[in-house]
């Protein structure tokens, strides 16, 4: 619905076909096996399984995921399933979406369907992908579905409702024997400018700082109520006129125990501790490299983010997205040479390996974004993140140079970094 709205997506493109994984899953899983990956993170579409939002299960949609999951397992690939990656059934949006407190019940019913359909084979789940983007881009900036720009009061209501939905869904999934559950966060993380104690402390404090002028965009907005059982103290400074009704039952639901912290990380910032006790930010160097998305290249954050997250919450850390968009195209030799992405991948993974090897931080795994070029929301098809090039006219798949470099890294579990 949103991608067909005039002006919503770059170049007037839409999400009707995208990379057509629906019809080409067998080919795509074969490419995964060639790559050597032992896990595949993918998202279920609530819209595909329960097109009316609740009630009837769409059998053809359910069967697609059955085939995909079975095919993954047959090839020794562990499925990691995300329940919500920015797609809400339109009928529920018409009822208010995340502004309707009933969404916790709707999401629980959806999770129950997932449990019954796939809980016998899938054991790794994430409830929501990037709640910061779901609400910040969808309800504040209006650049992602549903394209709203609501008041601060409504933003805070949507935040609370999403967290309640997360808790309700997690409670259902906990009924799957052997299940491990988390959610995939984003938001800026901060690296210290040096190894000095005051700089490291500044990076830790800044990473988990709640921003009253950006309540939907920080790590703390979601991770604090989920992992500590309450909102940050500054959250309550909005006052009763702006805050939703928050009960102890809500907080207990939201903070149901999780098994891991999942983080999507592309860029970060660097800070230092000032002599007066405040935190200073280091500006990027003039002319510093950026991805085609305009994001800074900051591999040092891939070392510090999992360290600080594990120190704060004590949960093993998955990096569930990390990648590089560049201007890929088919060369005259029939290949896609993406040296920039390969260098990005190696430098970021080198830093993640450092964190995993420090004797303190529990790094559980890494998922590259993405397996193949796909529909990148408001950016349409102009941003290519894939290890595999997709011709969106013919849908032909062509592994890029980075595919083979990543295959080497996987085969040696990073020892060649």
Q: Is 263 helix (H, G, I), strand (E, B) or coil?
A: strand
Q: Which of 130, 224, 379, 405 is catalytic?
A: 130
Q: Distance between CA atoms of 67 and 71, rounded to whole angstroms? A: 6
Q: Is 376 helix (H, G, I), strand (E, B) or coil?
A: coil
| 134, 86 contact by CB (below 8 A) | yes
240 is catalytic: no
Residues 6+ apart with CB under 8 A from 366: 318, 319, 322, 349, 352
Residues 6+ apart with CB under 8 A from 234: 210, 212
360 is catalytic: no
| Residue entry with tokens 């279920």 | 44
Q: Which of 180, 224, 321, 405 is catalytic?
A: 321
- Pull the structure tokens for residue 60: 């053809």
- Listed in sequence order, the DSSP H helices in 335-381 are 339-356
Please state whether the peptide bond connecting residue 229 to the residue before it is cis, i.e. omega within 30 degrees of 0: no
Which one-letter DSSP state was computed for residue 60? Answer: H
Known catalytic residues? Answer: 130, 321
């Amino acid at each position: 619905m949103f991608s067909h709205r005039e002006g919503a997506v770059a170049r007037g493109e839409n999400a009707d076909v995208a990379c057509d994984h629906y019809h080409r899953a067998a080919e795509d899983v074969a490419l995964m096996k060639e790559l050597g990956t032992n896990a595949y993170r993918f998202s279920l579409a609530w819209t595909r399984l329960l097109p009316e939002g609740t009630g009837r299960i769409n059998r053809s949609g359910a069967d697609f995921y059955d085939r995909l999951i079975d095919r993954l397992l047959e090839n020794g690939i562990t499925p990691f399933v995300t329940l919500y990656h920015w797609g809400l059934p339109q009928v529920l949006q018409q009822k208010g979406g995340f502004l309707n407190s009933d969404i916790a019940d709707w999401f629980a019913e959806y999770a129950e369907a997932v449990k019954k359909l796939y809980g016998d084979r899938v054991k790794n789940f994430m409830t929501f992908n990037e709640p910061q983007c779901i609400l910040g881009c969808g309800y504040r900036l209006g650049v992602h579905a549903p394209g709203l720009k609501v008041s601060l009061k409504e933003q805070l209501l949507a935040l609370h409702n999403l967290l309640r939905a997360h808790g309700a869904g997690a409670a259902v999934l906990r009924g799957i024997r052997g299940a491990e559950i988390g959610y995939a966060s984003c938001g800026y993380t901060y690296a210290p400018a040096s190894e000095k104690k005051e700089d490291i402390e500044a990076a830790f404090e800044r990473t988990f700082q709640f921003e009253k002028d950006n309540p939907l965009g920080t790590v703390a907005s979601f991770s604090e109520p989920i992992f500590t059982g309450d909102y940050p103290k500054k959250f309550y400074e909005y006052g009763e006129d702006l805050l939703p009704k928050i009960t102890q039952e809500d907080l207990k639901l939201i903070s149901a125990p999780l098994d891991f912290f999942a983080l999507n990380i592309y860029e970060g910032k660097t800070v230092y501790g000032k002599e007066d006790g405040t935190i200073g930010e280091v500006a990027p160097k003039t002319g510093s490299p950026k991805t085609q998305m305009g994001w800074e290249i900051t591999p040092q954050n891939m070392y510090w983010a999992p360290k600080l997250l594990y120190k704060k919450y004590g949960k093993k850390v998955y990096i569930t997205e990390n990648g590089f968009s560049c201007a890929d195209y088919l060369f005259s030799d029939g290949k896609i040479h993406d040296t920039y992405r390969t260098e990005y991948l190696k430098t970021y993974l080198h830093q993640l390996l450092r964190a995993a090897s420090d004797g303190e931080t529990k790094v559980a795994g890494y998922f590259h974004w993405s397996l193949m070029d796909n529909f990148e929301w408001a950016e349409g098809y102009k941003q290519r993140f894939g290890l595999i090039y997709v011709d969106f006219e013919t849908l032909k798949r062509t592994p890029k140079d980075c595919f083979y470099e990543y295959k080497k890294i996987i085969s040696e579990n990073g020892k060649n970094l």
